[in-house]
C-alpha cells in the first residue's frame, strides 16, 4: 500500500505572504528523461502562466579553510541576465529530501560579494571578517540552464524548476540534471503529491546532495564514504513523540548517506552500513508497534524487508570473500581449487552489485524514499484516533524506554539459555534478539547514564560479534555449494576447495562456541542501565 493512500495530516500550511524560509524537494533526473519530464501532462495541466528559461551562472565563495562550509553556510553570487544576486543559505534541515532553510537574497551591482548586505548579524560579521582578512575567495562555479513553471492546485502553489548543466571546481566537472519543487504556498504534502505522480512514469530519486555539496566535493576531491549510525541526543525530548521523528530521521540518514557508496560498488562497507540502517529502521517500527497506525507499520516494514533482501546477496558475498575465503587462501597459497572458487566469487559479486545498482536506480526504491520523506515531513504517525496505544506517544520518553528495554532484555534471557548449548537456529534467534536490544539501547542511550550505557553496549556488541561470526559460517555452507554447483562436471578442485573452506571455519566455529558462553555470562552479569519498570509496563 502506498503511503499516499494512507490517512495523513496536511502538515503546516505556509501562506503566500508568510514564507520565512525556502522549502524544497530536489529529485535527480535521468538525463535521457529530462525532456519527457518537462513535457509531462501533470506539469502542463497545473502550469499557471508561461514557462521561463534562464541561464544561471553562479560563483560560490569560501576560504581555503572552508570556514563557511564548516558552519553550514552557503554564500554565492549568481548572474541572471544583467543582474547579480547574492544569496546566503543556512540552518539547513531535512526530512530525507525535503529541505527547509533560511535564505537571504539581495541584488548587487556586480559579482563581488557584499557582506554588509547580509541580514543575519552573526553571518554578516563572520563574512565581513573573512573578507577584511583577504581570506574570502571563489571556490567553485555552476553553469545551469533553468526552466521554471509555477504550478497551482487546490490552493497550493509550487515552483517547478528543471536544472541541467554542470558544476566546476579545481578543473573537475560534475553534470547536473535535477528537478526542484519549491513550496510557494500550501502544505508540505502538496510537494509530495506532485513528486509521487511524476515518479509513476519517471525514474526520479531524492537527491541527497545540493549543488554546493557537490561543488565542495569536487574542490576537495572527497569521495563518498560509508556512514555508520550516529549517536542521537534525545535529552530535550519530553515525550516519546518528540523522539520518534529524530530516531527515524537518523536511521534514514544512514541509509541515504550510504547510497552513493553502494552505487560506486568499490567499498563493501557501504552495503553493510546501508543494511544496518535498514535493520535499525525495521527494528524501530517493531518497537513502536501499535503506537503507530497499523497500515503504516505494515507498509514500511514490508518495503524495508524487500530492500534489505535486495542487498543481501552482495553482503553475503562480501563477507565470504573477505572474512571466510581470504584467510583460507592465505594459508594455502597457490591452491588451484581456491583460485577457481575465488574467481567464482568475484563473478558472483559483480552480478550481485549490478543487481543492487539496478534496485537503487529503480522506481520502487525511489518511491520508498519519497514515502519516508513525506512520512517524516508530515509527522504522519500522529494522524490517528486517540487510544490507549496511540496515547503512549505523549507519555514521557524515559518511561517508554524503561519498559521497552526491560521487555527486550527478557526476550534475550529466554533465547540465551538455549543458545549457548543449542542449535544453529537457537543461536540465530538469540542474535536477532541481541540486535533488537542493542538498537533500542542505542536509540535511547542519551536518556541514561553515559558510563553505564557504554559499558552495557560493549557487552552487547561483544556477544553480537561472536554470534555474527557463527551465523556467517553457517551461511557460508549454502553459499559455497551454490557457487560450486554452477560448474557441474567441471574441475573437481572446486569441490575440494569448498570442503576445505567449510572445514576450516567449522573448526574455528567450535572455538567461537566457547567464546559464546563467556560473552553470554558477561552480558548476563552486566549492570542494566535502565530502571526496571512495573510488570504491567512491559506486558
Domain of residue 413, CATH code? 1.40.20.10
107, part of any domain? yes
447, part of any domain? yes
Which of 220, 252, 278 corresponds to the end of one domain?
A: 220
Q: What is the pLDDT of residues 408-427, one digit of tens each?
A: 999 999 898 788 776 888 88
Q: What is the pLDDT of residues 168-177, one digit of tens each?
A: 999 999 999 9
539, part of any domain? no
Q: Are residues 105 and 156 in the same domain?
A: yes
Q: Are residues 146 and 290 in the same domain?
A: no
Q: Are residues 214 and 252 in the same domain?
A: no
Q: Are residues 297 and 424 in the same domain?
A: yes
Average pLDDT value over all residues in the chain: 89
Is the pLDDT reported for residue 159 higher than 90? yes
Q: Residue 414's closest CA among 339, 509, 520?
A: 520
Is the pLDDT reported for residue 2 higher than 70? no
Domain that holds residue 507: 240-380+391-529
234, part of any domain? no
Q: Are residues 340 and 473 in the same domain?
A: yes
Please check whether residue 141 is in contact with residue 57, taking contact to mean a CB–CB distance below 8 angstroms.
yes
Q: Is 9 exposed, middle or buried (CB count within 10 Å of its CB: 0-12, 13-18, 19+)?
A: middle
Determine which helix (DSSP H) or strand (DSSP E) holds 22, and give its type and residue range. strand 21-28
Q: What is the DSSP letter of 321?
A: I
Q: Are residues 104 and 159 in the same domain?
A: yes
d(CA 20, CA 14): 9
22, part of any domain? yes
pLDDT value of position 495: 86
Q: Are residues 508 and 375 in the same domain?
A: yes
Q: Are residues 103 and 172 in the same domain?
A: yes
For the chain, what is the domain count?
A: 2
214, part of any domain? yes
pLDDT value of position 15: 39
Is the pLDDT reported for residue 532 higher than 90? no
Q: Which of 6-20, 162-176, 179-193, 246-260 has the lowest mean pLDDT?
A: 6-20
Question: Percentage of residues in the chain with pLDDT exceeding 90?
Answer: 73
**pTM score, whole prediction:** 0.87
Which of 220, 252, 273 corresponds to the end of one domain?
A: 220
Cell digits of residue 33: 528523461
Q: What is the pLDDT of residues 482-517, one digit of tens each?
A: 888 777 656 788 888 988 988 888 877 777 777 888
Q: Check residues 508 and 436 and name the one with the higher pLDDT.
A: 436
230, part of any domain? no
Q: Are strands 156-169 and 137-153 parallel, antiparallel or unpaired?
A: antiparallel
Q: Are residues 105 and 252 in the same domain?
A: no
Q: Are residues 250 and 319 in the same domain?
A: yes
Q: Are residues 216 and 249 in the same domain?
A: no
pLDDT value of position 389: 93
d(CA 401, CA 409): 12
Q: Are residues 204 and 329 in the same domain?
A: no
Q: What is the pLDDT of residues 77-119, one digit of tens each?
A: 999 888 999 999 986 555 556 777 778 999 999 999 999 999 9
Amino acid at each position: 500500500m502506498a503511503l499516499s493512500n494512507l490517512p495523513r495530516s496536511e502538515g503546516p500550511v505556509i501562506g503566500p505572504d508568510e514564507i520565512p524560509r525556502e522549502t524544497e524537494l530536489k529529485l535527480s533526473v535521468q538525463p535521457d528523461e529530462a525532456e519527457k519530464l518537462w513535457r509531462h501532462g501533470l506539469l502542463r495541466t497545473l502550469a499557471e502562466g508561461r514557462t521561463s528559461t534562464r541561464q544561471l551562472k553562479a560563483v560560490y565563495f569560501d576560504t581555503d579553510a572552508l570556514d563557511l562550509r564548516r558552519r553550514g553556510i552557503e554564500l554565492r553570487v549568481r548572474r541572471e541576465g544583467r543582474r547579480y544576486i547574492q544569496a546566503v543559505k543556512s540552518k539547513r534541515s531535512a526530512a530525507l529530501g525535503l529541505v527547509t532553510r533560511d535564505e537571504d537574497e539581495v541584488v548587487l551591482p556586480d559579482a563581488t560579494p557584499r557582506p554588509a548586505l547580509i541580514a543575519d548579524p552573526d553571518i554578516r560579521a563572520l563574512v565581513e571578517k573573512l573578507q577584511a582578512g583577504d581570506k574570502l575567495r571563489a571556490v567553485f562555479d555552476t553553469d545551469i540552464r533553468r526552466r521554471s513553471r509555477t504550478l497551482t492546485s487546490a490552493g497550493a502553489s509550487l515552483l517547478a524548476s528543471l536544472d541541467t548543466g554542470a558544476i566546476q571546481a579545481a578543473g573537475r566537472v560534475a553534470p547536473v540534471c535535477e528537478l526542484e519543487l519549491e513550496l510557494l504556498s500550501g502544505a508540505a504534502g502538496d510537494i509530495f503529491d506532485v513528486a509521487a505522480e511524476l515518479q509513476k512514469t519517471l525514474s526520479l530519486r531524492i537527491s541527497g546532495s545540493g549543488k554546493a555539496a557537490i561543488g565542495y566535493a569536487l574542490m576537495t576531491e572527497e569521495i563518498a564514504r560509508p556512514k555508520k549510525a550516529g549517536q542521537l541526543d534525545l535529552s530535550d525530548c519530553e515525550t516519546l513523540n518528540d523522539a520518534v521523528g529524530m530516531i527515524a530521521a537518523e536511521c534514514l540518514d544512514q541509509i541515504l548517506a550510504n547510497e552513493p557508496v553502494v552505487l560506486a560498488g568499490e567499498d563493501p562497507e557501504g552495503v553493510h552500513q546501508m543494511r544496518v540502517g535498514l535493520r535499525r529502521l525495521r527494528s524501530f517500527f517493531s518497537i513502536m508497534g501499535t503506537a503507530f497506525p497499523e497500515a503504516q507499520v505494515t507498509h514500511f516494514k514490508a518495503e524495508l524487508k524487500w530492500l534489505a533482501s535486495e542487498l543481501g546477496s552482495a553482503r553475503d558475498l562480501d563477507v565470504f570473500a573477505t572474512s571466510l575465503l581470504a584467510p583460507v587462501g592465505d594459508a594455502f597459497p597457490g591452491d588451484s581449487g581456491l583460485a577457481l572458487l575465488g574467481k567464482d566469487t568475484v563473478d558472483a559479486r559483480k552480478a550481485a552489485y549490478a543487481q543492487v545498482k539496478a534496485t537503487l536506480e529503480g522506481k520502487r526504491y525511489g518511491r520508498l524514499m519519497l514515502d519516508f520523506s513525506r512520512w517524516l515531513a508530515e509527522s504522519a504517525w500522529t494522524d490517528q484516533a486517540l487510544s490507549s496505544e496511540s496515547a503512549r506517544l505523549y507519555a514521557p520518553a524515559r518511561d517508554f524506554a524503561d519498559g521497552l528495554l526491560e521487555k527486550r532484555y527478557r526476550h534475550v534471557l529466554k533465547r540465551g539459555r538455549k543458545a549457548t548449548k543449542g542449535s544453529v537456529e537457537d543461536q540465530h534467534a538469540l542474535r536477532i534478539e541481541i540486535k533488537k536490544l542493542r538498537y533500542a539501547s542505542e536509540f535511547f542511550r542519551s536518556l541514561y547514564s553515559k558510563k553505564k550505557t557504554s559499558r552495557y553496549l560493549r557487552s552487547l556488541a561483544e556477544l553480537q560479534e561472536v554470534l555474527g561470526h557463527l551465523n556467517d559460517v553457517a551461511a557460508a555452507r549454502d553459499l559455497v555449494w551454490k557457487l560450486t554447483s554452477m560448474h557441474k562436471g567441471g574441475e573437481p578442485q572446486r569441490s575440494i576447495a569448498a570442503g576445505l573452506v567449510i572445514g576450516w571455519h567449522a573448526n574455528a566455529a567450535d572455538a567461537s562456541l566457547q567464546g559464546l558462553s563467556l560473552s553470554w555470562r558477561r552480558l548476563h552479569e552486566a549492570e542494566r542501565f535502565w530502571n526496571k519498570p512495573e510488570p504491567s509496563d512491559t506486558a
